[in-house]
Structure 1
Amino acid sequence: AETVGDVVGYKVRLESRTSGRTRVTFCTTGVALRRIAAEPDLANISHVIVDEAHERSEDGDFILMVLRRLLSRRDDLKLVIMSATLDTQLFCSYFADAPALCVPGRTFPVRALYLEDALQLTKHCVRPNAEWA
């Protein structure tokens, strides 16, 4: 079994689990932007994967813009943009007619349940004097 932070690690705002042996680092967009600000060419990075690209945000759009500019200087850098609901044509054209790979899948129905629903479905009665009531 592998330890988190050995070959695969993560970095979030106030926490980091990486080491000198780490080859894959999962991080937030904010952490990635700070890394790019400190190291604009990402010299020791070979691949960048952006997941959930359809969740458009200022940070998300900004990092894609920065990565697009970086790709023009780094032929060896590979960028993978992933999303289940992405406007593929929009992103492919933004990245100089980059190829797209479509992996078929299916969606599953999601039903939101709240505490009241769970109580009703399980026929559970909350005692008025219980600690959690």
Structure 2
Amino acid sequence: MKEIAKDIKDSLTDMINKREIALKAGESAKDDLLGILLESNHKEKEEHGNNKNVGMSLEDVIEECKLFYFAGQETTSVLLVWTMVLLSRYPDWQARAREEVIQVFGNKKPDFDGLSHLKIVSIVLFPS
């Protein structure tokens, strides 16, 4: 576990350092959570004269990254488990969703464009 934790920390540290160097060089932050977090943190520090006691430390940023990653993993797995439970409870919806997927994709590997044509699957996964 310690080795895995070290590998994760090293990977995140490397990624964060590269993004911070790019940010300080004037490159715009990427439109993802890490980019937004680093850009906000960079602005906060600049507003306070680059005071090291202001803003998030490298450790704080790493912990935020891990939190969002693992929270997202858990949320996704819970969604998938409940979807499977409900589809097993309502086999008619399961059959309709399966037929729709086969109709749209056939034997092809699903692609992003085809996903927009899956109305029943969208209803199953994202009920309003």
Q: Structures share a fold, TM > 0.5?
A: no
TM-score (norm 1): 0.22
Q: Quick check: which one's strand share is greater?
A: 1
More helix per residue: 2
